[in-house]
Structure formats: structure tokens, C-alpha cells
Structure 1
Amino acid sequence: MSVVKSSVLALAMLATAPVFAAVTIDIDPAKPGAVINKNVYGQFAEHLGTGVYEGMWVGPKSNIPNTRGWRNDVVGALKELHVPLVRWPGGCFADVYHWRDGIGPQDKRPSNVHTNADGVVEIDAINAVGTHEFFDLIDMLGADAYVNGNVGTGSVQEMSDWVEYMTSDGGSPLARLRAQNGREKPFKVAYFGIGNELWGCGGNMKPEYYANLYSNYEHFLWAPEKSRPKMIASGGSGFDTTWTDVLSKELKDRTIGISVHQYTVPTGNWDIKGKTLGFKEGEWISTLANTLKMDQLVKDHVAVLDKNDPEKKIGLMIDEWGTWYDEEKDAKSALFQQNSLRDALVAALNFHIFHEHAERVPMTTIAQMVNVLQAMILTDKEKMVLTPTYYAFQMYVPFQDATSLPLAIKDNTSYTLGALTIPGVSASAARAKDGKLYLALVNTDPSNAVDVAVNVAGTELQGAAGKVLTAATMDAHNTFQNPQAIKPAAFSARAAGDKLSIKVPAKAVMVVALEE
């Protein structure tokens, strides 16, 4: 079916779909909240499966068009997302990565095969992408670098040398080595993470032990003041706040953030997670219900931070999040999973939660950028396809560094299936850097459209214009054979009298600029 025909069909469906009574959203622009740090929209690239090799890096001799080894199509698509931050090289890979293996002439670098700590995922580390290549990508994207150091199998000396290699200027031996390898000026390392998941794949440690290790490592990570990275401590996972509690007490003034990881599993069971495609409505609602738990998770960790760090010097860095499904039998590489409309809603619902907690959540990085878990982009040799999650990130670009605005949702609908009930409408509003007031809406109900009446205090709205992402099926997705099966469509609405009403389609994500 052509894109035009499918769009007409979707509009016809909307016209005939049952509609609930209007939900009302009141926005107060006179009471601005915290700025939504652009790094909330950060990305994560790990040496896992085809997440780096083939997915992004093909080498300068490849027939796939590239710039210094990085795929032109992938880099171009990522630039459209205004990627603010990239975390690298892991993940679990970080704690088995030795940086000296990734410098110098590529044909003389050692080739290694790693497995992560639980022995499940094989990682082919040919080391063609090392420090210099990563920063080349960072320069192409215009992003900041978040580098993760090796605590698990590394040493204080190794990590200290790497930070010096990247950041030192002048005539130190490591600065001279960097220059010999083609880079005279220091790299800009915005953030540096001391280890990853030290409770698990990073070393199976206790938080008190890691707090001591962190202090030891951080003490020796020397860099010129003007180029010293901001240090991030590796925290816990999920709702367990023990690591956040211990680290926020022990590492005051030594870290600007503590990480936490949280994945959305449809069933809530890691042994049988759920399908990527062909799932029934029960897994649609359970996925959204489980992802909405992120709000309580953030509240729990923030409560601990507020107790131990009332000055609010330590941020909660959610540097791994996203959906995780059962691995497909014909998956082309480790943790490669298809990405559907459901994933776009998961992304948008999490964005709204991060916006709500902007004061304490200055950074998140979704897992992951390309070909792994909830990816922006999927590739197959020379082919590339953009996912619904990609389009969600693209639609929310105006929220980067925007000022959050308080809103109230009145008479919200509920979406119920079996024993589960979740809010029908989720919303977020902000004043963007371009001066416009943006409203983001999610309708979680897969069957029913909803009318949303929008009021902005002190303003008579004229209309709204933006984009909407929806489809006829819950698992609508793009494939290499049909790469444009689902993508955003233009949307606009005009006020009638002094009232603005927006019809949000079933199972949809919408971002509009309100015309004041």
C-alpha cells in the first residue's frame, strides 16, 4: 500500500473512531519550571552486536558511502536528531575495554573477542573504532562525549593514563603520543563515567566497596582544569536505592551524578520478556504500564538524593533505559530487535517523566543508538531504516534545553484492559529556545481517539501545528523492504472562538507548537 493511500486510510479511521469526552489541559506559562537539559535526549553506542561495526562504522575502504569510516547515511540521520551526547564504549563492554588496544595504526591493533560478565553476549572487538575514531564521530554529530572507563578489569593507572591521553595539553608523554596518532589538540571529554554496573557485569561489588574505589580512581584522574571531564559514578539498577544512598553520602563534591539503569520489559519477567512484533493488546498495555513505573523509580531515587544532597549538586543520570524484548530467532546480531509504534510511545512517555523531573534528571541515554535494543536506526549491509523511536526523538527536538511549564490534566481518560489501568493521555509542555510554546501528547489507548481542550493562562490560542505519529496497527514498523510504512504526518488545528481542541488519534504521539 502506498504512503498516500495508507495516510488516507488512517484519516478515515480517525473520522469514524469513537471519541471520549474532552480531556482538558491547562498550562501556566507564568510559572516556568526547570530547564529540560538537552542531555536528557542522549544516545548510547556500545561495542555490542552490530551496534558500532556495520551499524555505524564500515571503514574507509567500504563500498558503503562513508566519511573516514563512519556511514554517511547513519551520521546524516543522527544529525537530524540534534544528538546532544553519546555514551561510549559501554555498558558492560566498558569494563573489559583497554583503551590502548584502540589507538595507533588500525592494522597493528590487537583483535580480541570479549564476552560480557554473564557469558551470554559475544562481542567481536576488532578495535578499529578507538578513541580517535569515536571523537571523529562526536565531531561529525556536534555532540558531547560521555566516555566510560574500565574499573572491572582495568586499573587506576590505566584509567588515569586514558584521561591524560584525551585531555592533556603541553608536552607530556601521553600528549605527545596522542599527537603521534594524529591529534595534537586535546579531545573534549564532557563527562567521564568511572565504571559501569559495578553491582553486576562491572565487578559484582558492594556499594561501599565501589565508593572507596571511586574515590581512589577519581583522585588520580588528572586533567587540566579547563578540560577536566565531569565525573559520574556508576549507581544501581531499578528501584533499589541502596547504591544511590551510599554514593550520595560518600561521594559528595566528587561526582556530579549517579547513574541508574531501568529497562522496560513487557511481561516484567526477564526469562520470557515478550515479543517485538505480533503481540496482543495485553502486551501493549503491560509494556506501557511497566514503562510508566519510571516515574516512581525517579521519585524514589530523588527522595534519597534530596535527603543526602539537599544542595542538589548530584544529578540522577539514567544512562541506560528503553525496551528489551525476547531475542528473535533470526536476529542478525546480539540484541538486535525490531522497533514498532509501541516503542515510540514508550520513548515519549519516558520523555514526559524526565521533563517532570528536569531539576534532578539532567541526563539520560537510551539503549541504544543503532541495531541494539530500542534503536533509532536499523541497518543491513548497505540498507538503512529509521525506526518509530527515531521519529519520536526527532519530534521532541524542540524540548532540548526548553523551559518546562506546569500543566494540569483534567477529566483524563483511562485505558483499561483486564486488571491493568493506565492514564489515557500523557502530556508535557515547555517554552523552547525559539520562543514557541510546545505541547506533547500521548494517547495510550490503541482503539479510541480523544479530544483534548487546551488552555494557556493569559493567552487566547489561535491554533496548533506540528506532527503526529500513529498507524493502523499496534506493531506498525519499518522494514528494509518497506522503510516508510510508519512516519510522522503533519497536523494542525484551529481554535474555534476562544477554544482550541486537538483530536489525538488512538495509539499516537503528537508534538505541536501552540499559536499564541
Structure 2
Amino acid sequence: MKASVRARIRRAIALLMAASATCVHGSPAVDITVHADRPGAVIHPEIYGQFAEQLGHGIYGGIWVGEHSSIPNIKGYRKDVVEALKAIKVPVIRWPGGCFADQYDWRDGIGPRNQRPVRMNGSWGGEDDNQFGTHEFMDFAELIGAKTYVSINVGTGSPRDMSQWIEYITADGHSSLAQQRRANGRDKPWKLDYVGIGNEMWGCGGSMRPQFYADVYSQYATFVHAPPNAPITRIASGANAGDVHWTDTLMAAAGSQIDAISLHNYSIPTGDWKHKGSATQFGEDQWISTLQGALGMDDLITRHSQVMDKYDPKKRVALDVDEWGNWTDQDPDAGDAVLYQQNSLRDALSAAITLDIFQTHADRVRMANIAQMVNVLQAMILTDKSKMVLTPTYYVFDMYKVFQGATNLPIEVEAPPYHYGNAKVPGIHAAAGRDVAGVLHVALVNLDPHHATTVHIHLVGPHGANLQGKMLTAPAITSVNTFSRPHEVEPVPFDHAVLKDDVIAADLSPKSIVVLEIH
């Protein structure tokens, strides 16, 4: 037998063995249909918003270091952090809380910084010297090009406090508050885009019943006076996760005065708030439980939307998920860095599938704010004195920024589930949209940490002929970026996809996120 024939036989046997191994050990092919001919709702850029609460090192050392710091800064703001946030096009920032908002007196954070009072932080411990206040927040948002979302103190404040704060920020006349703002260094008024009327009023905001809060909300909402041609969106403090009775009560009693209702939901790896689990030391059981928690967002939005539809079938009132993310135990070495946790590939995948869900519900969900921006919970960025590192979650927001302002496209996924023990989740999660330039984008998440899979994407409707993409994955489910190893988890070009006619064939690595562009 000739050597060339023997080589062909050996190659054929090898291919047969590989195919057999794939059937036994791999995942069967997945079929996805993208209906590019059925445009849906616009995906509001604010869905990719951020949350920065006045606690720990989230503000001080994370965003603000002061003009005289040795850390390179722009008028007191960390230059590296500013540049990183601008790169992902942060659309909106929520501040100063969170629970902190309902104890905050805005007057403490204006005027010369060396004359501002020091206050105890009753929510998170420690003290706040108020070096970061209204001017610093509004200027920061302006610096990175983000809209502004201010949480109003309802728990210990008053409608008058709120009304005067809004006037201080937005007035352009000769009122005493406008003149006070000018004396404090800001001539022109800022644009205030959103006000949240209280935070978690069922809990840390005042332990209120929904009927009582509905009346309180109506009172406060009456005194949100926006300047001409600069409307302010009024956001009611919404439910604790699945409490649809809260939403029903608000919509029935105050729906005509509500522009949006908030929703808060966190994914806890263990399901136990007292022992949430480690951000870095976890097994596959807490990998899949965290993903299950993130996937639960779809059911929450669906149930609250159904209640809202009873009173608002035209969907005038938005559902804004202004706190979401993974919450684990604080890093044992964090010291006074309250709620500091590392950020792994697990956080990246859970962020991606959550953003997919928001995009799918773009007709009702028009803003979301991940908790939180820097050094707190599921952060975009971690800092340590002069050092900074971008987290896996940051890179998801970077990859997904192409969906900001795009039109959502219906998508169907036929994929076998991924199992671990008694837990089960979809093996593949996906979303699609068309941007304003007409480019089609498809996001794919392989939740299975072990098996690669081939995905066949059927494109129905107009699309381009050129294909490119990016992929985010890492060697382990616990992989993180550290100050000494900052590039362990970051995107790379994805070249394992082929477009032929109307079908894309893509080979997805285990535990990976891919965003494709068809232009």
C-alpha cells in the first residue's frame, strides 16, 4: 500500500474518531434564528448605565483623589478611570445611593471643601467628609459624557429639601439658590436627567408599606419642577425583586405621576445573604447557581411588566433596573474598602446574559445601573492607590456598547441545556440588534464551562456580507484580572465563524462570550 494511501486512511480514521468523540463528549450543534426583518424596540443606551454609591472606596480613591494627589488626575478625578469609563461610553450614572441616599443632606456637599462637615455613614459604616458632593458628581458626569441620575432623600428628608436641591442644580435665573451655585464655582446650570424619589422604601429607605409610599411619592413628585425644555424623569422606588404587589399598588395609586419604576435584584451565589460565597474561591455548583440568579431577571421583568401593562398598556412608564449584579462576601483582605469584591469570568458571563435580557425587554426596560462602578460589588474597575485594573465585567460592557441605541431583533435559540447536579440552565444565551448605521450585531454566550459547541445562526432579513467578532473567555471559571496580572481575562479577535449565504457557522469555546458584527 502506498504511503499516500495509508496517510489518507489514517486521516479518515482520525476524523471518524474525532467526530465520535464530539458526539460523546461535546455539545450538539445549536440552531439560532435572528429575525432581522422584524425590528423591535430601541435599546436605550441607558440600559448600560452605572451606579456609584457614597461608600467604601467606590468614590474616594476610586473616582476622586483630589487635585493635589500624586495620582494623575483631571481636576481631582482619576485620569485612568475617566479614560476607561469614556471608552465604554457610560450613558448614565446613579448617585449618591443606594441606602446612603436616604440619609444624605445635599447641603453638606457644596461650598469650599475644607469647610464641609464630616458625617457618619449610617448605612455602611465609617465617616464621609463630603469632599465629593453635588458639584463633583455633576462635573464628573459631564466629564465622561454621561447623563445624571440623583437619588433623593425621602427617608430623612423633605419635599422642600428635594425641590431646593433641584433648583440649585438646574436654575438659570437670579434666585438665591442659583446665585449660591454660582458663588460655589458653577455659572451655568447642569442638566439633571433623572431623580429617584427614595431608594428601597420598603427597607433601608424607611420601611414603608406600598400604600403609604404611593402617597409619599405623589407628594414628592408634585414638587419636581424641571426648567423649561429640560424635562426630569421621575423614578419611583420600586419592588424588592419579585414583590409584584408593590408595583401593582404604585401603578394603581400614583401611575399618572410616575415616569419610571425601579427594580432591584442581586444574584447571590449561595442564596444566603449572611454567607453569600466567595468572589474567587468557588466551584461549579456556585458557577451555575450564579448564572441561574442572573437568568432569573427575565422572569422578574416579565412579571412586573405584566402588572404594569394592566395600567399602562402603551408602556409609557419605564421599568428601570437601577441596581443589579452579583453580590458575594467582601474580600477578606479589603479592610475598610466596604463591599469590595474581586471580579471573575463568572461575573462576565452573568453580566452578558443580564444585558441580553434587558435588550430583549427594551420595550419596557429603558435604564439599568449595575452595582457598582468602581471598587464596590460587581465593579467595572478596581483601584489600589495609583494602580488600576479593568475587570472581566468591564470588557463585557465594552463589547456590548455596539448595542447602545440599536434596534432589538427577535431571536430564537434551540440549544440543549447545561446541567450540573440538579441545576440546569440554557447551554447558549443570545441577543441581537441592528445599529443606526444598519450593522447587525449578535451576542452569544456559552454557559457550559466544559464543552465547545457549534452554533448555526440563520439570518432572516437584510444583512451584510462581511463578518467579524470578539471573544471573551479565560482558562478557568475563577480567572480574574489582578494588579500584577491585568490581562488574564480580556477580549481577543474571534475568527472561528464563517458566513455563507444566510447562515453563520460559529465555533464557541466553553465559558465564552462572543459578539459578532455583520456589515
Query: Structure 2 vs 1, CA of residues 274 and 173 (structure 1 numbering), >3 Å: closer, same or farther?
Result: same
Residue 19 of structure 1: how far off its partner (Å): 3.5
Matching of residue 41 in structure 1 with residue 44 in structure 2:
no
Bigger-Rg structure (1/2): 2
Q: 1:498 to 1:114 in 2, by over 3 A?
A: closer
Query: 1:43 deviation in Å?
Result: 0.2
Q: In the TM superposition, what is the alpha-carbon distance from 1:207 to its structure 2 partner?
A: 1.1
Q: Distance in 2 between matches of 1:348 and 1:389?
A: 8
- 2:249 is paired with a residue whose SS is helix
Amino acid across the alignment from 1:233: A
Paired with 2:463 and 2:174, the residues of 1 have a C-alpha distance of 62
Partner of 1:8: none
Shift of 1:25: 1.0
SS of equivalent to 1:140: helix
In structure 2, C-alpha distance between the alignment counterparts of 1:446 and 1:403, rounded to whole Å: 31
- 2:19 is matched with none
Q: Equivalent residue of 1:306, what SS? A: helix
Evaluate the alpha carbon distance shift between residue 495 and residue 311 of structure 1 in structure 2; reply closer, same or farther with a 3 A threshold. Answer: closer
2:454 aligned residue: 451
Q: TM-score, normalised by structure 1?
A: 0.94
Aligned partner (choices 243, 253, 258) of residue 255 of structure 1:
258
**What is the match of residue 349 of structure 2?**
345
Pick aligned residue for 1:506 from 504, 510, 515: 510
Please say if 1:180 is aligned against 2:187: no
Task: Report the Cα offset of residue 196 of structure 1.
Answer: 0.5
Q: Percent identity?
A: 49
Equivalent in the alignment of 2:132: 129
Q: Which residue is 2:307 aligned to?
A: 304
Structure 1 pair 21/128, CA: closer, same or farther in 2 (3 Å)? Answer: same
Determine if contact 2:440/2:463 at 8 Å carries over to the other structure.
no
State the 1:328 CA deviation: 2.4
Deviation at 1:21, TM superposition (A): 2.2
Give me the whole-angstrom Cα distance separating, in 2, the residues matched to 1:48 and 1:460: 46
Provide, for residues 39-95 of structure 1, a one-character-per-residue CA deviation record: whole Å limited to 9, x for no partner: 000000011110000011000000000011100000100001100000001001111
Q: Give 1:326 shift.
A: 1.4
Taking structure 2 as the reference length, what is the TM-score of the superposition? 0.93
Unpaired segments ≥5 residues, structure 1 = 1-14
Aligned partner of 1:62 in structure 2 is 69
Q: Distance in 1 between matches of 2:502 and 2:249?
A: 53
Question: CA 1:476–1:259 in structure 2 vs 1: closer, same or farther (change >3 Å)?
Answer: same
Matched to 1:171, the amino acid is: H
1:12 corresponds in structure 2 to none
Q: Distance in 2 between matches of 1:460 and 1:251?
A: 44
- When structure 1 is superposed on structure 2, of 146-155 and 20-29 the one drifting more is 20-29
Instruction: Figure out how many residues of one structure are paired with residues of the other and give that number.
Output: 496
The CA distance in 2 between the partners of 1:458 and 1:328, in whole Å, is 48
Q: Determine which of 445, 467, 472 is the counterpart of 1:464.
A: 467
1:99-152 Cα shifts (integer Å, max 9, x gaps): 000001111111112121xxxx21431111111111110111111000111011
- Secondary structure of the 1:258 match is strand
Amino acid in structure 1 at the alignment position of 2:351: A
Comparing 269-278 with 29-38, greater Cα deviation is found at 269-278
Distance in 2 of aligned mates of 1:223 and 1:438: 37
| Distance change (3 Å), C-alpha of 1:21 and 1:110 | same
Which of 424, 427, 432 matches 1:424?
427
Change in Cα spacing, 1:467 to 1:172, as seen in structure 2 (3 Å) is same
* Cα distance in 2 for residues equivalent to 1:500 and 1:429: 14
Give a deviation string over 1:342-370, Cα, whole Å, max 9, x none.
Answer: 00001001011111111010010000000
Contact in 1 for aligned 2:439/2:464 (Cα 8 Å): no
Query: What residue number does 1:242 align with?
Result: 245
Aligned-residue RMSD, C-alpha = 1.6
- Hey, what's the Cα distance between the residues in 1 that align with 2:259 and 2:500? 48
Whether 1:357 and 2:361 are equivalent positions in the alignment is yes
**Aligned partner letter, 2:361:** H
Aligned equivalents of 2:64, 2:502: Cα separation in 1 = 53
Q: Provide the residue aligned with 2:10 in structure 1.
A: none
Is 2:28 aligned against 1:24? no
- CA 1:123–1:92: 2 relative to 1, 3 Å: farther
1:495 matches 2:499:
yes
Answer with 212-221 or 494-503: which moved more.
Answer: 494-503
Counterparts of residues 184-263 of structure 1 (less than 5 Å): 184-263=187-266
